[in-house]
Structure 1
Amino acid sequence: MTSNEPVLPIQQPNRDVKQNNDGHIERRNRRALVDIGNLAPTAVEIGKPTQISRPVTRNFRAKFLENAQGEADKNVKIQKPQADPNNEEVSLKAHEETPRRRSRKPSKSLTTVLTARSKAACGITTKPKDPVVNIDESDINNELAEVEYVEDIYTFYKLSETEGGLQDYMNSQPDLNAKMRAILVDWLIEVHRKFELMPESLYLTINIVDRCLSVKKVPRKELQLVGISAMLIASKYEEIWPPEVSDLIAISDNAYSRDQILAMEKVILGQLEWYLTVPTPYVFLVRYTKASLPFDKEMENMVFFLTELGLVHYSVIITNSPSKLAAAAVYAARCTLGKTPAWTETLKHHTGYYEHELRDCAKTLVTFHDCASETKLKAVYRKYVNPEKGAVALFPPARNLVAEARGSEQL
């Protein structure tokens, strides 16, 4: 122990009792405690013993010495020697005697350090710049929007499309091929436009046609009859004022009679077991287009244009679920219109698809867009070249996706 350390005497019993000259015992008045933990510190002079009123332990003694030394450093004014620039020894001594105040940095826990290293290794160093946007916030007071249930509804749609997905049925049709189906769908799109039906009716019509062909062998001469009957069923399901049978007979150039159409309607409903509430690409397009921010009419028209181009082609319908086709159409439309980023966190959240999962389908849709004006089946092109649809068919396709598609074909 050095000489300048304070002396800590051991507490003596009955120190508060004192006997005066007359022999009477008197007690000292104790000072009231200001703080139950520690009293207000007083100036400590180095070299003088400090009285304490509690048993001394090793830990207490060490803490007491540390506190006493700290108080002494605060109250004792250290005389700094004048630093002589010509005397290096005096300057060095002055530098050594100057107390250094250490800045304590907050210590990090091991969990924090490991988490930071893991994020850095995975490339997650900052929060995402593109947070998920609540697309239903503006519809909270709209009862028809069903904001409280919309997420559950689309979860059910995704589950339903997985359970009732279409299988490759063209090999089981001895008298049909994919080209004949494309001609039929192109014609149905034209009929749908002339009758000015709701878009839901078109998507349900094509769904009914594909589901019917997947369970029933249809001769070539009855393929158009299946299409007309499917549109009649879809119109009854979706429209307030569906077209009459006589209108369908006229639009098909009297190729079929009223009895034939009604008979085929019964056959289709029997084959499908009257199951018409199905998730078509349309129900996903409505949701995904809403999640494509900023939302505008041009974006909506481009999405539906690309989707209907895909509906015409059998390979696109069979290899992609309705939700994936809708998501790929939104991605291709954003690339075509130059939206950045092409795929956002909001879209990923609501669609459940990552960008790389949609790229192949999007490249196929953009390829159809690139040659839409040159193909023989022009119903979709004529529909969306109209100024009422924003003439989006005239927009140049996404060149980066077209170039990738052509590069893949060359390989």
Structure 2
Amino acid sequence: MEARAVVPAQPRGAVKVKNEPAQGRNRRALGDIGNYGVQALDGKPNAQISRPMTRSFRAQLLAKEQGAVEINKNPVVPALDNRVAINRRRVTVNKVAEAQKKVDDKPNSDESKAATTTTSEGEKIESVSGRRSREGSSRKEVKTLTSILTARSKAACGVTVKPKPQIVNIDAADVNDELAVVEYIDDIYQFYKLEEGESRVRDYMDSQPEINARMRSILIDWLTEVHRKFELMPETLYLTINIVDRYLSRTFVSRRELQLVGISSMLIACKYEEIWAPQVNDFICLSDYAYTGAQILVMEKAILGKLEWYLTVPTPYVFLVRFIKASVSPDKEMENMVFFLAEIGLMNYPTIILYCPSMIAAAAVYAARCTLAKSPYWSETLKHHTGYSEEQLMNCAKQLVDCHMAAAAESKLRVIYCKFSNPDRGSVALFTPAKCFQAT
């Protein structure tokens, strides 16, 4: 039920005065929002209410002004049908909605949802905000003219976007192998790269008055033969050469003790790398009894003292194993060629001084691929795992190829050449050196 206004009852006997102004008639006259000229009953003009000029309010004022101008141009006849007035009212409402739409900078997130109203016939009518959100979404999907012209110009010029070469996951086959430590292998070789500078040998021949680079090469050639006769691990030979060079860079050595330094260095490397290390008497026999057992042990102690027992160093061998694997399914011939070039490079004194172990290993892989005509010579997988580009390896690889050519033509110091000329090693030393480096 609708609530009825309760009129207070007048007391009996009260006389109602005719034409008496009713209570509360002194209030201001009510009018619509545009009734600015209404005056109060007392004759004083009402105070105008100031309203902030918002965007929506300004749009309403503009729409009303436009409607008034059109009405003045086309005055309405009082006898018009009600339908004409209704149509004009709809036109005015549409103009207000259009003005509001122009003033708004961007629609609210809540307005983007299409608000629907249901008519009496069950039809759903989408609101203005719903249409606005649909139009915005359609504009995002349309391609711009600039992008279309750019794509057409590239197609006309024959410009094609080449896909980036993929890097092969060389550790995918060793995921289930616990000894391969696939989870830590990348961190291990990053650590090797950081530590190889600590054990890198500097130029020391100027501080050795009695020995030279030729004598060092003779010593390395002899140690390679001893290593082969004992059938030792490959790591032992690389560590032996590292110990010899580091000791010679820190102390003066006479010519007569140079072979003793080599024997003691190999004894230390065997104790570090081998399961069954050779005895001291075995080295005495191989040296043709040039030194006694006491001299070998004294020199061993002196070397360990100078090196401060620092034997865990990244030699070229640890990088060779990784970089050969990065060649993606290398064959035995490829592996033998890499080790051949690396060993003749270690015998060459300038190679040891100028380049770090990781670069020597990477250059050996690159020179081997060039020698065996493997295509491509250098891949993105090798670049990723070695950290060197093809241009960075050119000089070092050229030195290794020069050593290959010298070993083939040399009459002496042919232990490494004969070692890899054996069919057990694939006879890789008999291959023609890489011609691409000979031309340069």
Give the distance between the partners of 1:182 and 1:9, measured in 2 at CA. Answer: 108
Give the distance between the partners of 2:177 and 2:145, measured in 1 at CA. Answer: 48
Counterpart residue number, 2:90: 11
Counterpart residue number, 1:231: 266
SS in 1 for 2:339: helix
Shift, 1:126, TM fit: 1.7
Shift, 1:35, TM fit: 6.7
Shift, 1:163, TM fit: 3.1
Give the distance between the partners of 2:291 and 2:417, measured in 1 at CA. Answer: 28
Provide, for residues 347-385 of structure 1, a one-character-per-residue CA deviation record: whole Å limited to 9, x for no partner. 000000000110111111111112322211101101100
Give the distance between the partners of 1:31 and 1:174, measured in 2 at CA. Answer: 112
Provide, for residues 305-350 of structure 1, a one-character-per-residue CA deviation record: whole Å limited to 9, x for no partner. 0000101111000001000000000000000011111000000000
Preserved contact between residue 238 and residue 316 of structure 2 (Cα < 8 Å): yes
Give the distance between the partners of 1:324 and 1:316, measured in 2 at CA. Answer: 10
Provide, for residues 3-54 of structure 1, a one-character-per-residue CA deviation record: whole Å limited to 9, x for no partner. xxxxx864289xxxxxxxxxxxxxx9623344746xxxxxxxxxxxxxxxx8
Is 1:354 matched with 2:389? Answer: yes
Counterpart residue number, 2:194: 159
Give the distance between the partners of 2:340 and 2:255, measured in 1 at CA. Answer: 28
Counting only pairs closer than 5 Å after superposition, residues 40-79 of structure 1 correspond to structure 2 as none
Aligned pair partner of 2:327 in 252, 274, 292? 292
Q: Cα gap change, 1:108/1:222 in structure 2, threshold over 3 Å: closer, same or farther?
A: farther
Structure 2: runs of 5 or more not aligned? 1-86, 93-117, 136-140
Aligned pair partner of 1:170 in 205, 215, 229? 205
Aligned pair partner of 1:248 in 271, 276, 283? 283
Structure 1 moving runs of 4+ over 3 Å: 33-37
Q: Cα gap change, 1:185/1:10 in structure 2, threshold over 3 Å: closer, same or farther?
A: farther
Give the distance between the partners of 1:167 and 1:281, measured in 2 at CA. Answer: 16
Give the distance between the partners of 1:131 and 1:355, measured in 2 at CA. Answer: 17
Aligned pair partner of 1:306 in 341, 344, 347? 341
Preserved contact between residue 348 and residue 403 of structure 2 (Cα < 8 Å): no
Shift, 1:127, TM fit: 2.0
Give the distance between the partners of 2:408 and 2:264, measured in 1 at CA. Answer: 30
Give the distance between the partners of 1:222 and 1:393, measured in 2 at CA. Answer: 32
Counterpart residue number, 1:24: none
Moved more, 362-371 or 179-188: 362-371
Counterpart residue number, 1:142: 177
Aligned pair partner of 1:339 in 374, 377, 399? 374
Aligned pair partner of 2:435 in 390, 395, 399? 399
Aligned pair partner of 1:31 in 106, 121, 144? 121
Percent identity of equivalent pairs: 58
**What RMSD in Å do the two structures reach over aligned CA positions?**
3.0
SS in 2 for 1:162: coil
Give the distance between the partners of 1:218 and 1:260, measured in 2 at CA. Answer: 14
Supply the AA of the counterpart residue of 1:11: R
Counterpart residue number, 1:106: 143
Provide, for residues 281-328 of structure 1, a one-character-per-residue CA deviation record: whole Å limited to 9, x for no partner. 000000000001231111110000000010111100000100000000
Give the distance between the partners of 1:124 and 1:235, measured in 2 at CA. Answer: 57
Provide, for residues 63-109 of structure 1, a one-character-per-residue CA deviation record: whole Å limited to 9, x for no partner. 9xxxxxxxxxxxxxxxxxxxxxxxxxxxxxxxxxxxxxxxx972388
SS in 2 for 1:301: helix
Counterpart residue number, 2:52: none
- Larger Rg belongs to: 2
Counterpart residue number, 1:82: none
Counterpart residue number, 2:22: none
Is 1:279 matched with 2:314? Answer: yes
Moved more, 308-317 or 289-298: 289-298
Give the distance between the partners of 2:353 and 2:89, measured in 1 at CA. Answer: 92
Is 1:363 matched with 2:412? Answer: no
SS in 2 for 1:347: helix
TM-score, normalised on structure 1?
0.72
Supply the AA of the counterpart residue of 2:415: A
Q: Cα gap change, 1:211/1:108 in structure 2, threshold over 3 Å: closer, same or farther?
A: farther
Structure 1: runs of 5 or more not aligned? 1-7, 14-27, 38-53, 64-103, 405-411
Work out the number of aligned pairs and report it: 316
Give the distance between the partners of 1:332 and 1:265, measured in 2 at CA. Answer: 36
Supply the AA of the counterpart residue of 1:107: T
Supply the AA of the counterpart residue of 1:385: S
Counterpart residue number, 2:295: 260
Counterpart residue number, 1:67: none
TM-score, normalised on structure 2?
0.67
Give the distance between the partners of 2:205 and 2:123, measured in 1 at CA. Answer: 94
